[in-house]
């Protein structure tokens, strides 16, 4: 946890949490606190801390309390000159402080509420280095003047000027470099941000390390992070301004290694991009969409996905005003047994906490409807520093004392019981808080009073001790284990996207937020107010403090409905989906009773794709005069039909075209037949399920049927007003795409059993597009059709109603190919803009956008990995979950223009502009 990690850096009893909020610790001096007793003076040795709003004395003797003197309560600060009278004992120079209030902290070295003594006091400190005494007094007098200014804005400005002056007079000590050969890249002034506090200093980045050197030497002289250890970095919004940078040396931990706040955005960005060049996976690849794709396909757990979303939405465990937010998922805290298969025990994730209780919501809506603009439904937020420390007070008591001016909250308002906390979230007039990641972690110390803290006594006489757990939890560890199991359960996996829509998505703001009863105070939203535009410094600071303490809504990550996760209840889409709204509900299906063969085949496919990098060239053949772009295979796999592409014609308009269909024998490894249907090129071909008929589309606007057994043309379908670009077939239906901006759907019925008989073609539908259609594809169940056009748009069609379900502007220019994933959840498309994009079928959301170095012309994919044919002639194996090329396989000497893969994904055939066909085999 962040709080534990922060304290691991120092063994000191002193902490920045002893300072006020927005206060800085400037310098320290070894000193003695001189106490005048009845008999003689007593000197207590320790460290005198000069801070922007107070003086703190931390004694070496742990039984002595830490003394804090607020500068605003000081009446007089004097420099007492050294006394050199030879007749008396020499008296060193000293600092004399007259004040009306002193705070005593950690008495007997126990973390407890501060003891406040009021009344006139005079306190004396003697520095061990006497000649610095006068300088320290002058510094204290200057800070005292700032603290006594009437306006808060003036105070803040004077202290800020003091800080910037100190930073300007110092620089990073390059003697701290780990290696004398290190080359510094940049250095600037920053603040290291920790929960509730920040520490000014200098950051220095070299070609090997990132260093932070605190101005005050606390918690250590220098903090070093090797650049090669860094795994993730994030730009952060800190204090509503783009000044933060957070660095992680782990893949999934939500606690960072350092969080820096810069004074200038340009300094932050320069270091961000420099460090990014050292990351194995460039930082720009870590997008919400790429994480969404990993989560949806089961590569990330619900917990990991929520952590990633929180990170991307500026939530950080170092910033309590933007602490990671997690949902309540369990609604039953009274039963003795927790049945995760019973949906009744879960919270409704489609509603915010404030809308879970209808009676309370009705009252809130009545107030909302009568409220002047800007209106809001909830007067408090679901995440704020106070709520975070409400949960973590047993783990981080000093943070609670810091936030509440040295006191704990009233005992009855503490985090006493899981059940009572949930009940108050349902019924309380101002309580709408969600949970934090610790509820789904492994460390249960935030539920236990391991420090034996005196947190007060409730009205019923009971001391506040450990958190009371639900009856179904045997202990704190069991509670966390069951809470984690609930988060990863079937029900939550199927509904978590609804909560994401509320917190990170399209229901976060606007009319959708109003409809979902999800409207909070305007100040909680990013961009709700520009503090820099407020001229009055007092008003600006007060507004900023209000925003930071009230809580902030995460940065909005999604502006369209979030896709549902693919769970075991949705193995394949084998029924026609019901699209009653722009957001489709995909129909669950039952697995057949005997699915052993399917399971075996699926396992074989998974193995094949996991080993696709072992693709080995078996043989290559050149049988065409021009490029190959279409491949169809007979049912027994003995023969292959090939043809040339339209793109070749477009780029070589005066070249003699090889517009023939040719058959190549796998067994004989030689060319066998050549069929010419017209004087115009062929554009695509496919083999019908009977294994005896090849269907070809042509630039002459026609579709041709060729009988393999009889070796002749069987039928001609004259269907379009422009070139037929691609065809597909399912269940006696032929789908023809054309540059005349239509797709036509034909019902094909043969008038006889023999394959040489003519067929009848009935036009069922004509699907209109805004531009020429380049590519068309069906999902495995034949219930959905996808088309890709010259204008870069993709359209998804329902094949039962022939209605357009989604139209997505996708590419900037021609789409070369588009196809469904095997589970029908996603669509992959490649285009002339060098992009490879993954679209969610259900919502139309773009889930991944990969920018390649070259155009990808054709591909096969399994939903996670893609085998692409590139413009360079190589085969590229892409991992979509990380957006990286995992293998590049040299193949053709020109662009790869056609690709075919068998059902088990173990045999691949490619065709290219070099006129070759290449046979590939997956080696085990």
All residues at 6 or more sequence positions from 754 whose CB lies less than 8 Å from its CB, including other chains: none
Alpha-carbon span 295 to 292, nearest angstrom:
5
Q: Under a CB-based contact definition with an 8 Å cutoff, are residues 825 and 796 in contact?
A: no
**In the structure encoding, which two tokens stand for residue 543, read together?**
């507004």
Closest alpha carbon to 470 in 337, 585, 611, 571: 337
As a whole number of Å, the CA-based R_g of the chain is 35
Alpha-carbon span 137 to 160, nearest angstrom:
19
pLDDT at 90: 65
Q: In what order do the strands lie in the sheet with 856-861?
A: 856-861, 865-870, 875-879, 884-889
The residues with which 28 forms a beta bridge, in sequence order, are: 49
pLDDT in tens, 705-748: 888 888 888 888 988 999 999 999 999 999 999 999 999 999 98
Mean of pLDDT over the chain: 86
CB atoms within 10 A of CB 536: 11
Residue 291 lies in a domain: no
Beta-strand pair 184-194/258-262: antiparallel
Could you tell me the CATH number of the domain that includes residue 735? 2.130.10.10
Q: Under a CB-based contact definition with an 8 Å cutoff, are residues 689 and 732 in contact?
A: no
Q: Which residue has the higher pLDDT, 536 or 751?
A: 536
- Of 150-164, 741-755, 853-867, least confident by mean pLDDT is 741-755
Token pair 């220098």: residue: 222
pLDDT, average across residues 291-300: 86
Could you tell me the CATH number of the domain that includes residue 442? 1.10.1540.10
Alpha-carbon span 187 to 407, nearest angstrom:
40
The number of C-alpha atoms within 13 Å of 278 and in the hemisphere containing its C-beta is 21
Same domain, 609 and 740: no
Q: Does the structure show a pLDDT above 80 at 536?
A: no
pLDDT category at 140 given cuts 50, 70, 90 is very high
Same domain, 529 and 637: no
CB atoms within 10 A of CB 98: 14
**In the structure encoding, which two tokens stand for residue 490, read together?**
């079937």
Beta-strand pair 733-738/742-750: antiparallel
Residue 301 lies in a domain: no
Residue 196 lies in a domain: yes
pLDDT category at 828 given cuts 50, 70, 90 is very high
Q: Does the structure show a pLDDT above 90 at 614?
A: no
pLDDT, average across residues 750-761: 58
Token pair 């704990």: residue: 408
pLDDT at 582: 30
Same domain, 328 and 459: yes
Whole-structure pTM value: 0.79
Last residue in a domain, options 266, 286, 306: 286
pLDDT, average across residues 188-196: 95
Same domain, 610 and 632: no
Q: Which residue has the higher pLDDT, 576 or 605?
A: 605
Q: Under a CB-based contact definition with an 8 Å cutoff, are residues 158 and 145 in contact?
A: yes
The residues with which 820 forms a beta bridge, in sequence order, are: 827
Last residue in a domain, options 714, 733, 768: 768
Q: Residue 257 — φ and ψ, nearest 5°?
A: -90, -30
486 in the Ramachandran plot: left (φ > 0), alpha (ψ -120 to 50) or beta?
Answer: alpha
pLDDT category at 654 given cuts 50, 70, 90 is very low
Residue 807 lies in a domain: no
pLDDT in tens, 775-794: 999 999 999 999 999 999 99
The number of C-alpha atoms within 13 Å of 478 and in the hemisphere containing its C-beta is 10
Q: Under a CB-based contact definition with an 8 Å cutoff, are residues 505 and 561 in contact?
A: yes
Alpha-carbon span 300 to 566, nearest angstrom:
12
Residue 530 lies in a domain: yes
Q: Does the structure show a pLDDT above 50 at 66?
A: yes
Residue 815 lies in a domain: no
pLDDT at 728: 93
At what angle are helices 152-169 and 537-550 packed, to 10 degrees?
A: 90
Alpha-carbon span 246 to 203, nearest angstrom:
13
All residues at 6 or more sequence positions from 110 whose CB lies less than 8 Å from its CB, including other chains: none
The residues with which 665 forms a beta bridge, in sequence order, are: 639, 670
Q: Residue 687 — φ and ψ, nearest 5°?
A: -105, 130
Could you tell me the CATH number of the domain that includes residue 246? 2.30.29.30
Angstrom distances, CA of residue 755 to CA of 4, 691, 702:
76, 10, 20
Domain span including residue 54: 16-167
All residues at 6 or more sequence positions from 619 whose CB lies less than 8 Å from its CB, including other chains: 669, 918, 919
Report the length, in residues, of the chain. Answer: 924
Same domain, 265 and 326: no
pLDDT, average across residues 206-232: 93
Same domain, 690 and 669: yes
Residue 302 lies in a domain: no
Same domain, 618 and 630: no
Same domain, 415 and 526: yes
Closest alpha carbon to 402 in 393, 415, 410, 411: 393
Same domain, 251 and 398: no
Angstrom distances, CA of residue 291 to CA of 378, 609, 850:
31, 21, 13
pLDDT at 667: 61
pLDDT in tens, 364-383: 999 999 999 889 999 899 99
Could you tell me the CATH number of the domain that includes residue 920? 2.40.10
pLDDT category at 596 given cuts 50, 70, 90 is very low
Closest alpha carbon to 836 in 805, 871, 785, 873: 871
Q: How many domains does the chain have?
A: 5
In DSSP notation, 189-243 reads EEEEEETTEEEEEEEEEESSEEEEEETT--S-S-EEEEGGG--EEEEEEETTEEE
**In the structure encoding, which two tokens stand for residue 204, read together?**
């220095």
Alpha-carbon 644 to chain mean position: 44
Angstrom distances, CA of residue 216 to CA of 48, 51, 362:
12, 10, 54
Residue 330 lies in a domain: yes
Q: Does the structure show a pLDDT above 80 at 74?
A: yes
pLDDT category at 636 given cuts 50, 70, 90 is low
In DSSP notation, 884-921 reads EEEEEE---SS-EEEEEE-TTS-EEEEEETTSEEEEEE
pLDDT at 332: 96
pLDDT, average across residues 870-888: 87
pLDDT in tens, 672-690: 677 777 778 888 888 888 8
All residues at 6 or more sequence positions from 842 whose CB lies less than 8 Å from its CB, including other chains: 561, 563, 564, 583, 584, 586, 825
| Torsion over CA: 16, 22, 25, 31 (sign) | negative
Same domain, 607 and 631: no
Percent of the chain with pLDDT strictly greater than 90: 60
Closest alpha carbon to 724 in 712, 713, 714, 734: 734
- H or E stretch covering 716: strand 712-718
In DSSP notation, 289-314 reads HHHHHHHHTTSS-HHHHHHHHHHHTT
pLDDT at 528: 66
Angstrom distances, CA of residue 525 to CA of 371, 486, 551, 659, 821:
19, 30, 9, 61, 37
pLDDT at 757: 53
In DSSP notation, 79-117 reads EE--B--TTS--B--EEEEEEEEEEEESGGG---PPEEE
Alpha-carbon span 640 to 625, nearest angstrom:
17
Same domain, 334 and 264: no
Alpha-carbon span 491 to 806, nearest angstrom:
27
- H or E stretch covering 654: none
pLDDT at 711: 80
**In the structure encoding, which two tokens stand for residue 99, read together?**
């004040």
Alpha-carbon span 222 to 211, nearest angstrom:
7
Alpha-carbon span 731 to 759, nearest angstrom:
15
pLDDT category at 88 given cuts 50, 70, 90 is low
Q: Is 709 exposed, middle or buried (0-12, 13-18, 19+ CB in 10 A)?
A: exposed
Same domain, 224 and 113: no
Alpha-carbon span 283 to 280, nearest angstrom:
9
pLDDT category at 608 given cuts 50, 70, 90 is confident
Last residue in a domain, options 550, 578, 611: 550
């Amino acid at each position: 946890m962040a709080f534990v990690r922060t304290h691991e850096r120092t063994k000191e009893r002193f902490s920045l949490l002893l300072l006020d909020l927005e206060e800085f610790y400037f310098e320290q001096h070894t000193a003695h606190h001189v106490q005048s007793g009845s008999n003689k003076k007593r000197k207590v040795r320790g460290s005198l801390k000069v801070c922007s709003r107070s003086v703190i004395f931390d004694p070496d003797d742990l039984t002595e309390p830490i003394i804090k003197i607020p500068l605003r309560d000081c009446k007089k600060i004097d420099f007492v000159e050294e006394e050199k009278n030879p007749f008396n004992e020499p008296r060193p120079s000293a600092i004399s402080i007259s004040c009306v209030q002193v705070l005593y902290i950690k008495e007997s070295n126990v973390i407890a509420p501060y003891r406040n003594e009021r009344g006139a006091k005079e306190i004396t400190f003697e520095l061990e280095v006497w000649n610095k005494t006068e300088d320290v007094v002058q510094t204290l007098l200057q800070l005292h003047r700032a603290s006594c200014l009437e306006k808060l804005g003036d105070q803040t400005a004077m202290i800020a000027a003091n800080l910037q002056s100190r930073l300007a007079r110092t620089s990073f000590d390059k003697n701290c470099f780990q290696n004398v050969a290190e080359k510094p890249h940049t250095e600037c002034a920053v603040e290291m941000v920790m929960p509730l506090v920040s520490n000014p200093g200098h950051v220095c980045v070299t070609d090997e390390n990132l260093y932070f050197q605190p101005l005050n030497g606390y918690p250590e002289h220098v903090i070093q992070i090797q650049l090669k250890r860094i795994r993730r970095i994030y730009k952060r919004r800190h204090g509503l301004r783009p000044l933060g940078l957070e660095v992680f040396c782990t893949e999934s931990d939500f606690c960072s290694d350092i969080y820096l706040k810069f004074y200038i955005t340009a300094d932050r960005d320069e270091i961000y991009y420099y460090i990014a060049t050292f990351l194995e996976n460039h930082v720009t690849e870590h997008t919400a969409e790429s994480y969404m794709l990993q989560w949806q396909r089961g590569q990330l757990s619900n917990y990991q996905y929520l952590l990633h979303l929180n990170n991307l939405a500026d939530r950080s465990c170092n910033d309590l005003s933007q602490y990671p937010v997690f949902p309540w998922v369990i609604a039953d805290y009274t039963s003795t047994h927790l049945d995760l298969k019973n949906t009744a025990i879960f919270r409704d994730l489609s509603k915010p906490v404030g809308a879970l209780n209808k009676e309370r919501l009705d009252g809130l809506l009545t107030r909302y409807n009568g409220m002047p603009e800007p209106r809001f439904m909830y007067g408090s937020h679901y995440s704020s520093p106070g709520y975070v420390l409400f949960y973590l007070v047993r783990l981080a008591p000093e943070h609670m004392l810091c936030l509440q001016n040295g006191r704990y909250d009233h005992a009855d308002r503490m985090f006493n019981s899981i059940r009572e906390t949930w009940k108050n979230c349902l019924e309380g007039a101002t309580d709408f808080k969600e949970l934090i990641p610790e509820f789904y972690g492994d460390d249960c110390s935030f539920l236990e009073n391991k420090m034996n803290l005196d947190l007060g006594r409730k009205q019923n006489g009971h001391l506040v001790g450990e958190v009371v757990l639900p009856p179904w939890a045997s202990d704190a560890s069991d509670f966390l284990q069951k809470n984690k199991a609930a988060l990863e359960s079937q029900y939550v996996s199927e509904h978590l996207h609804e909560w994401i829509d509320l917190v990170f998505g399209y229901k976060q703001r606007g009319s959708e937020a109003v409809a979902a009863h999800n409207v909070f105070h305007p100040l909680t939203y990013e961009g709700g107010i520009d503090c820099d535009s407020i001229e009055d410094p007092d008003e600006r600071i007060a507004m900023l403090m209000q925003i930071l303490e009230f809580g902030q809504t995460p940065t909005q990550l999604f502006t369209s409905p979030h896709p549902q996760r693919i769970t075991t209840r949705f193995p394949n889409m084998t029924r026609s989906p019901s699209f009653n709204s722009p957001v489709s509900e995909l129909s669950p299906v039952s697995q057949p009773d005997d699915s052993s063969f399917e399971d075996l085949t699926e396992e074989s496919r998974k193995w094949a794709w996991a080993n696709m990098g072992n693709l080995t060239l078996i043989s290559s053949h050149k049988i065409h005069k021009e490029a190959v772009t279409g491949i169809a295979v007979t049912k027994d796999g003995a023969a292959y039909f090939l043809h040339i592409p339209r793109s070749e014609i477009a780029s070589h308009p005066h070249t003699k075209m090889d517009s023939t269909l040719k058959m190549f024998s796998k067994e004989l490894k030689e060319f066998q037949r050549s069929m010419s249907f017209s004087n115009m090129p062929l554009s695509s071909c496919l083999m019908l399920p009977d294994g005896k008929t090849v269907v070809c589309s042509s630039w002459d606007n026609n579709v041709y049927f060729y009988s393999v057994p009889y070796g002749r043309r069987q039928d001609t379908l004259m269907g379009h007003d422009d070139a037929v670009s691609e065809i597909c077939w399912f269940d006696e239906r032929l789908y023809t795409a054309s540059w005349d901006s239509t797709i036509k759907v034909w019902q094909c019925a043969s008038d006889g059993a023999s394959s040489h008989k003519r067929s009848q073609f009935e036009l069922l539908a004509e699907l209109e597009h805004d531009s020429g259609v380049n590519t068309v594809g069906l999902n495995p169940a034949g219930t959905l059709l996808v088309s890709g056009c010259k204008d870069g748009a993709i359209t998804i069609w329902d094949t039962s109603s022939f209605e357009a379900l989604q139209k997505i502007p996708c590419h900037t220019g021609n789409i070369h190919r588009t196809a469904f994933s095997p589970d029908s959840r996603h669509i992959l498309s490649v285009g002339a803009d060098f992009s490879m994009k993954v679209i969610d079928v259900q919502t139309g959301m773009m889930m991944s956008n990969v920018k390649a170095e070259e155009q990808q012309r054709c591909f096969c994919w399994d939903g996670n990995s893609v085998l692409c044919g590139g413009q360079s002639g190589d085969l590229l194996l892409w991992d979509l979950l990380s957006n990286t090329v995992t293998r590049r396989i040299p193949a053709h000497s020109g662009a790869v223009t056609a690709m075919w893969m068998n059902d088990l994904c173990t045999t691949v055939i490619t065709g290219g502009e070099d006129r070759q066909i290449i046979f590939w085999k997956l080696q085990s």
